[in-house]
Amino acid sequence: MGNVPTTVKHCLSYEQLIQDYPWLRRWLLLEEKTITGHAYPKFVKIVEVGPRDGLQNEKEIVPTGVKIQLIDMLSGAGLPVIEATSFVSSKWVPQMADHSDVLRGIQRAPHVQYPVLTPNLQGFQDAVAAGATEVAVFGSASETFSKKNINCSIDESMLRFEEVINAARERQIPVRGYVSCALGCPHEGHIEPSKVAEVAKRLYEMGCYEISLGDTIGVGTPGSMFKMLQSVMKEVPTSALAVHCHDTYGQALPNILTALQEVWGGFVTNLLLAGLTMTTVFFCLCPGNVQASQSVTLFYQHPETSMGVCVVDSAVAGLGGCPYAQGSSGNVSTEDVLYMLHGMDIETGVNIAKVIEAGDFICSALCRETNSKVARAKGRTL
Amino acid sequence: MAAVLRLVNRGTLSSAMGQQYLTFSSAPKVQAVGVRAGQALPERVKIVEVGPRDGLQNEKTIVPTETKIHLIDMLSASGLPVIEATSFVSPKWVPQMADQVEVMKGISRIPGVSYPVLTPNLKGFQAAVKAGASEVAIFGAASELFSKKNINCSVDESLQRFNDVMKAAKEAGVPVRGYVSCVVGCPYEGKVAPEKVAYVAKRLYSMGCYEISLGDTIGVGTPGSMIEMLEAVSKEVPISALAVHCHDTYGQALANILVALQMGIGVVDSSVAGLGGCPYAQGASGNVATEDVVYMLHGLGIQTGVDLSKLMDAGAFICRTLNRKSNSKVAQAVCKL
């Protein structure tokens, strides 16, 4: 690397750093949770989407009281984020017509977020009037899906979201961004990972604090999940990513596992980032070089080798079918996700027994069997 | 549009829409994505289809012999390399498998495909060979209590019994596959020590089994416990001789299979349509569905030699006959487009 200062050499080449300080490798390995060469996050944030994404699919209107009780039970289970409702026009989504009543009726637990969907400025204003403190916007990686789902192109939807995000910024309300059809579209079929990355980047740069990448029709496999995340992580930091996997083809848990996995090299690189960012930022700290420091941040993620997403969306009892495969399952069950994570000693702060109770409650109310295999098995074990 | 398609597709699986979704899985352009810091996924995975035996064994109603034969023939046509055909246990214990000889004699054997059968003891082995079996399997347990309740003897006693089968098989030149059940958890003992699993696996391997299939009998395993167990076993038995037999009772099977593949395991047991429930959690699912496994493997660029459409045809056939919904999510999704 010629005359580049040693510190910068170490910033730019992990291999160079380890070569110069071999003890670092062993020291850093002690800090990791590894299972056969893969590191996993110590903590995963679960974003519970059952009350909104789940119930939205129900044909029968669910009484407001039932929705409120469901959300309260989920709050009691320790879930850190519960998507409460959606401020879409009741003409399009009659199930969510009681959005203001739900938001006003729930008992908000401290340290729990209750984001609501706001597709446009009108919806945002209604949400704020009803007491929303976090909102979400829904983009798509597929033009056809965007047109059929929200009646406009991706670019047009971004303009709408920009209005929402700007209004939210003025009120210091965080905005979460969703990208649907991240692994496939019911109309277009295969979706290029670069397209997903492009939409994710736009939402992130507009100001969304987190981007949830949704496999809307559940066709993804660990193979396509890996390729898509590789692409997106070149544009958006891993710490700002979430996965929203549908279980329509039974692939949700292995897809989530793939998203969580880091190769230890990637993890170490991220750890080094924490210590060396100061040097790098200082180096790049000239007017107009903010982009450079952002690029360095993304470079450290070694997108070729590390995933390490630590936010997972799921729905209690696997609520919410697939409108593109009638009768098939949709959202992955929160209970099944928790079972896997806890079995890997990954903390979530969630009490799985209480989630199962909440799932039992909503399934009785809907007169339906749970989609969660864990709930089904626990209910019937000898 | 979707409603019209469903009408047209009723009873068939070859809809254009259904095929479109299967291409997400076949993905020939997807490179095997398992190259992570030097750990490659296998390029090829051998699927051991256990539906006709492990799957149907759980059925209360006796399945007609012809149905069993037709199912096995359809599975053979789908490209599966190993199909566990039947079991030479006493019909007194497993009435479903009473037609073991007729099934063995009735199936159309495809060259290059193995049709192993279960043989719990020497008598069963002899009956199996007489009926034309060219590969057999024996079943051990990593849990003492499970062994006593399931086959009425201790683990060591069962291994002693198998010695007789192994000797006879060696003389007859018949390969033997070994199963270890309760490798992660036992319905009676709870958690099972990985060292115990390793001990039983090693004994079976040393006795001469060419492959050891590690079964999560009650499906309680997660990637965490799975890896812990596989690490212990792989110290005693080469990875190339190991297979995983995951149950999907808690929805963990595919995730468990994925971590096993990442450890280098290249043989996976599964059951068409997810046949075979869990006798320890009534109404819960048991075997992982072959369709779902194949969908995942193909999506990873891993070859199996299996034609997913033909496999789904076999699954649809047996579900229609049993008057039951498939436990395979792939089958459910594709059927309903």
Residue A300: band (very low, low, confident or very high) from pLDDT cuts 50, 70, 90 = very low
- Asked whether the beta carbons of residue A322 and residue B333 sit closer than 8 angstroms, the reply is yes
Summarize pLDDT for A193-237 with one digit per residue, the tens: 999 999 999 999 999 999 999 999 999 999 999 999 999 999 999
Instruction: Give the largest Cα separation in chain B, rounded.
Output: 62
**Mean per-residue pLDDT, B108-131:** 96
Give φ, ψ of B33 to 5 degrees: -90, 15
Q: Is the predicted pLDDT of residue A16 greater than 80, yes or no?
A: no
Distance CA A63, CA A51 (A): 12
Q: Which of B20, B36, B292 sits opposite A305 (nearest CB)?
A: B36
- Highest mean pLDDT among A164-168, B58-62, B149-153 belongs to A164-168
Would the pLDDT of A112 be above 90? yes
Residue A298 CA to residue B257 CA, distance in Å, equals: 31
Mean pLDDT, chain A, integer: 85
Determine, for residues A257 and B231 on separate chains, whether the beta-carbon distance falls below 8 Å.
no
Q: Say if the Cβ atoms of B254 and A251 lie within 8 Å.
A: yes
Q: pLDDT at position B6, please? A: 38
How much is the pLDDT for B38? 33
Do the Cβ atoms of B6 and A373 come within 8 Å? no
Judging contacts by C-beta atoms under 8 Å, the chain A residues touching residue B225 are: 343
Question: Does residue B26 or residue B258 have the better pLDDT?
Answer: B258
- Mark yes or no for CB contact A324/B30 under 8 Å: no
Given this model, what pLDDT does residue B176 score?
98
Q: Strand B190-191 relative to strand B185-186: parallel, antiparallel, unpaired? A: antiparallel
Instruction: Kindly report the nearest CA distance between residue B266 and chain A, in angstroms.
Output: 16
Find the residue in A nearest to B35 (Cα): A305
Residues of A in contact with B333 (CB under 8 A): 218, 248-249, 322, 325, 328
CB contacts of A343 in chain B (<8 Å) are 221-225, 252
Query: Which residue from A182, A185, A123 is spatially nearest to A149, judged by alpha carbons?
Result: A185
Q: What is the pLDDT of residues B239-270, one digit of tens each?
A: 999 999 999 999 999 999 999 999 999 999 99
Return the pLDDT at A284: 52
User: In A, which residues are within 8 Å of B248 by CB distance?
Assistant: 373
Looking at beta carbons, which pairs linking B88-94 to residues 24 or more positions away fall under 8 Å? B88/B117, B88/B118, B88/B119, B88/B120, B88/B124, B88/B125, B88/B127, B88/B128, B88/B131, B88/B133, B89/B118, B89/B120, B89/B124, B90/B124, B94/B57
Counting residues of chain A whose pLDDT is more than 90, the rounded percentage is 70
**Are B258 and A257 inside 8 Å of each other by CB?**
yes
Flag whether pLDDT at B151 surpasses 50.
yes
Mark yes or no for CB contact B24/A218 under 8 Å: no
Assess whether A284 carries a catalytic annotation: no
> Would you say residue B317 has pLDDT above 70?
yes
- Count Cβ–Cβ pairs < 8 Å, chain A vs chain B: 175
Check pLDDT > 90 for residue B277. Answer: no
Q: Are A356 and A77 in contact (CB under 8 A)?
A: no
Give pLDDT, residue A38. Answer: 76
What mean pLDDT comes out for the span A156-183? 97
Q: DSSP letter at A313?
A: E
How far, in Å, CA of A203 to CA of A162, rounded?
9
The residue with tokens 């994505």 is: B33
Segment B299-322 shows an average pLDDT of 97
**C-beta atoms surrounding B108 within 10 Å:** 9
Q: Kindly report, residue by residue over B53-80, the tens digit of the pLDDT.
A: 999 998 889 999 999 999 999 999 999 9
Q: What is the mean pLDDT of residues B19-28?
A: 57
Which residue among B225, B281, B299 places its CB closest to the CB of A377? B281
Give me the pLDDT at residue B102, please: 97
Among partner residues B254, B301, B328, which is closest to A223 by beta-carbon distance? B301
Q: The tokens of B52 are what?
A: 């006709």
Nearest CB among A36, A219, A227 relative to B227 is that of A36
Q: What is the mean pLDDT of residues B134-141?
A: 96
Q: Does the beta-carbon distance from A382 to B281 stay under 8 Å?
A: yes
Nearest residue, CB atoms, B295 vs list A251, A324, A382: A251
Chain B positions in Cβ-Cβ contact with residue A227 (cut-off 8 Å): 30, 33
pLDDT tens by residue, A87-102: 998 888 999 999 999 9
Res. A151 pLDDT band, cuts 50 70 90 = confident
Which tokens in the block code for residue B110?
A: 């495809």
Cβ contact, residue pair A223, B27, below 8 Å: yes
> Residue B150: what pLDDT?
83
| Closest-approach residue (CA) in chain A for B221 | A343
pLDDT, position B282: 67
Is the pLDDT at A299 greater than 70, yes or no?
no
Q: What is the ipTM of this complex?
A: 0.89
Residue A117, SS3 per DSSP: strand
* Contacting residues of B for A325, CB less than 8 Å apart: 332-334, 336-337
Q: State the best of A229, A251, A371 to mutate against chain B, taking most chain B CBs within 10 Å.
A: A251
